[in-house]
Amino acid sequence: MSDTKARRWFAPQNRSETIAGLLFILPALVGFLVFVAGPMVATVVLSLTKYDLLSPPKFIGLANFQRLWGDQRLWKIFGNTGLFALFAVLGNVGLGIVLAVLLNRRMPAPLKYVYRAAYFFPSLVGLVFVAVIWQFLFQKDIGIINFYLGQLGVGPVGWLSNPNVALVSVIILDVWKNVGFAMLIAMAGLQNISSDYYDAAKVDGASAFSMFWRITIPLLSPTILFLLTMNTIGAFKVFESIVVLTNGGPGDATRSLVMYIYEQGFKSLNMGYASAISLLLLAVIVVITALQFFLSRRWAFYE
Amino acid sequence: MSDVVLQAAGRAASRSRWKILLRRSANWLIYGVLGLGALLMVAPFLWMFTTSLRPMREAFSLPPRWLPGLDATVESYQRLLSSTVPMGKFFLNSLTISATVTLGYVATTTIAGYAFARLRFPFKNAIFAILLLSMMVPLQTTVVPLFLLMRWLGLVDTQWAITLPGLTGAFAPGMSGVFGIFLMRQFFLTLPTDLFEASRIDGAGQFRTFWSVALPLAKAQIAALSVIIFTVTWNDYFMPLIFLNSIDKMTLPVGIMSLREPVGNSSAMSEVIAAVALSVLPVLVAFLVAQRWIVDSFIRAGVKG
């Protein structure tokens, strides 16, 4: 800051505002520097070291990233996380929009109220709590899902023990839990679409189906993009539902990136390697956010 | 001539009658499908409450029961509360941590949001841009150094490790601090400038203007933010898992995880179900009492945040 600028900020008529502004942001700024920015920089530094808490950190250059590249487990786990994210996001956002459109119709008020409450309630409850409930429901022998499937003549499914099915179970739980939130946000987005569009389309004899694709979806696109981004970032951080349901197993069939960070950092005490994996996760999130930013300029339709 | 017109009108009327009938039955079909889905959403909770009230011996026997019968009993709750597991302590820890984080987070982010919306000070836009960028950085990517920092400060296995970042508005568990700053800034930007001008002309200081002009108008927004921060902190598992070790320091989610045993032991399973039921119950009651308000809070934050 140049001298004259500084003088202007602290000139008598501006001084109180400048000081107040700086004071008002001070607590949050200090908190940010100490607990967010500092650790962020430290993650980068730590990723270049070997550190096990016992002996002092040792600088090893890019060795952690080389190890990352050759780590078979990591790529399996990365694949799990990506697959989970893909289907969880499609399920949450897709079903959420469908539910929002259906609930947005004219219907008896009490019915609407009860339905909205029922769909939204699971989003409020802690993931660990609901995952414990679902773990019982998913049990092979005593679980009620298999009980009802058995009545339909479908043999017992190893929801949590079959490596090909376990990830599906995690996705089912995620969609059940989070679809209501997507629905709520989509409903709020629908409220902002003027009914004039639909009235005009009706005059032109448009069908409900074509109105959905040609009016609702384009006008809802900012909301959809927001939901896609939020859900994708959230999905890449998946952790506690898997810890409860399968603890990553069978084998590594359902292990997620955050579980691997936790395992490497806090169980094996490879603080340096855990930091390198953290940066990989961060890179994914940065790419998704950047993508959203550019897509929102090209694709999203703003009135 | 008139005959033809009448006939056509009659045909049109019957056609529209058909249309109405068709639309009505389509409506009922949609209500039915939505109702079935809604039932699926509540079924796990219903099963949990019913199972927690069944006699422990046969709580998990099939076919499942959906409503408590005449043999309903609270023995799983009694077993749980008389066991060595400090459920009361978990509950209290969850409550104090969530309340502390909410209070600190909402206070610091509200006043910072106000400054970014209403005051001029050096580097304002640059600082705000950096904060916004940091919103991308999830706690999970900085948790290793954060743990080392807390260890260095001697705060591991104390509530401070979780509450301190919240108190300074850096982040609440699972929610970046910038979220609150941004939400409040957007709100304060919607207030008319005249309000603040008038207060300034009256000779009120900056803090006074914030306190007695801006704050009262922001009540609903602050309430919405508080609901969300309290909920995410109450539900969080990651921070307590990393930072708390002793059983009497734990919150409900980590406490419940510590009490789990391999599936198969029926009485242990009943206790777990009872513990989960006790954790979900306050959320359910709060939701039933203040549904509209809670839902509005999430919409406010979700749409603007």
Report yes or no: B115 at the A interface, CB cutoff 8 Å: yes
**pLDDT at A198 (0 to 100):** 84
**Closest CA–CA distance from residue A225 to any residue of chain B (Å):** 12
CATH number where B116 lies? 1.10.3720.10
Can you read off the two tokens belonging to residue A67? 């190890």
SS3 B195: helix
Domains identified in chain A and CATH numbers: 3-46 (no CATH), 71-298 (1.10.3720.10)
Residue type, A102: L
Which residues from B are below 8 Å from A128, CB to CB?
235, 237, 253, 256-257
**pLDDT at B305 (0 to 100):** 41
Which residues from A are below 8 Å from B35, CB to CB?
115
Alpha-helical regions (H) of chain A: 3-9, 12-32, 38-46, 63-70, 72-103, 109-124, 127-137, 144-151, 166-191, 195-203, 208-211, 217-236, 240-245, 257-262, 271-298
Give phi and psi for B171, each to the nearest 5. -165, 150
Which residues from B are below 8 Å from A181, CB to CB?
298, 302
Which residues from A are below 8 Å from B165, CB to CB?
31, 35
Nearest to A28 among B30, B124, B181 (CB): B181
Count interface pairs A-B at CB distance under 8 A.
Answer: 273
Is residue B226, in this structure, part of any structural domain at all? yes
Nearest to B60 among A39, A116, A142 (CB): A142
How far apart are the C-alpha atoms of B296 and B280, rounded to whole Å? 21
Q: Which of B114, B140, B259, B285 to mutate to test the interface with A (most CBs of A within 10 A)?
A: B140
**pLDDT at A272 (0 to 100):** 92
Complex ipTM value: 0.88
Q: Tell me the residues of chain A between 163 and 182 that have a Cβ less than 8 Å away from chain B.
A: 176, 180-181
How far apart are the C-alpha atoms of A213 and A205, rounded to whole Å? 15
In chain B, which residues have pLDDT < 50?
304-305
Residue type, B221: Q
How far apart are the C-alpha atoms of A230 and B269, rounded to whole Å? 35
The region, left, alpha or beta by phi > 0 then psi within -120 to 50, assigned to residue A230 is: alpha
How far apart are the C-alpha atoms of B81 and A208, rounded to whole Å? 56
- Name the strand (E) or helix (H) holding B222: helix B219-235
Is residue B30, in this structure, part of any structural domain at all? no
User: What is the number of residues in chain A?
Assistant: 303
Q: Is A17 in contact with B121 (Cβ distance < 8 A)?
A: yes
Can you read off the two tokens belonging to residue A49? 């070291």
Is residue B95, in this structure, part of any structural domain at all? yes
Report yes or no: B111 at the A interface, CB cutoff 8 Å: yes
**Closest CA–CA distance from residue B165 to any residue of chain A (Å):** 6
**pLDDT at B4 (0 to 100):** 66
Which of B239, B270, B237, B219 minimizes the C-alpha distance to B166?
B239
How far apart are the C-alpha atoms of B272 and B260, rounded to whole Å? 7
Please give the residue range of the domain that contains residue B123: 85-259
Q: Which residue has the tokens 């500084």?
A: A6
Q: Is A124 in contact with B34 (Cβ distance < 8 A)?
A: no
* pTM of the predicted model as reported, rounded to 2 decimal places: 0.88
Which 8-state DSSP code applies to residue B62? S
Is residue B153, in this structure, part of any structural domain at all? yes
**pLDDT at B304 (0 to 100):** 47
Report yes or no: A22 at the B interface, CB cutoff 8 Å: yes
Is residue B201, in this structure, part of any structural domain at all? yes
Q: Tell me the residues of chain A between 116 and 135 that have a Cβ less than 8 Å away from chain B.
A: 116-130, 132-135
Per-residue pLDDT tens, chain A, 303 aa: give them: 556 677 677 777 778 888 889 999 999 999 999 999 999 999 999 999 998 888 888 888 888 899 989 899 999 999 999 999 999 999 999 999 999 999 988 788 888 889 999 999 999 999 999 999 999 999 888 888 989 888 898 878 888 988 889 999 999 999 999 999 999 999 988 888 888 888 888 888 888 888 888 888 888 888 888 889 889 988 999 999 999 999 887 889 999 999 999 999 999 999 999 999 999 999 999 998 888 878 877 766 665
Give whole-number Cα distances, A133 to A23, A167, A256, in Å: 47, 17, 21
pLDDT, one tens digit per residue, over B151-210 is: 999 999 999 999 999 999 888 887 888 889 988 998 898 888 888 888 777 777 888 888
SS3 A303: coil
Give phi and psi for A50, each to the nearest 5. -110, 120
Is residue B156 a contact partner of residue B94, using CB atoms and an 8 Å limit? no
Q: Is B27 in contact with A261 (Cβ distance < 8 A)?
A: no
The structural domain count of chain B equals 1
Nearest to A278 among B119, B140, B236 (CB): B140
How far apart are the C-alpha atoms of B269 and A208, rounded to whole Å? 49
Q: Which residue has the tokens 């520097």?
A: A33
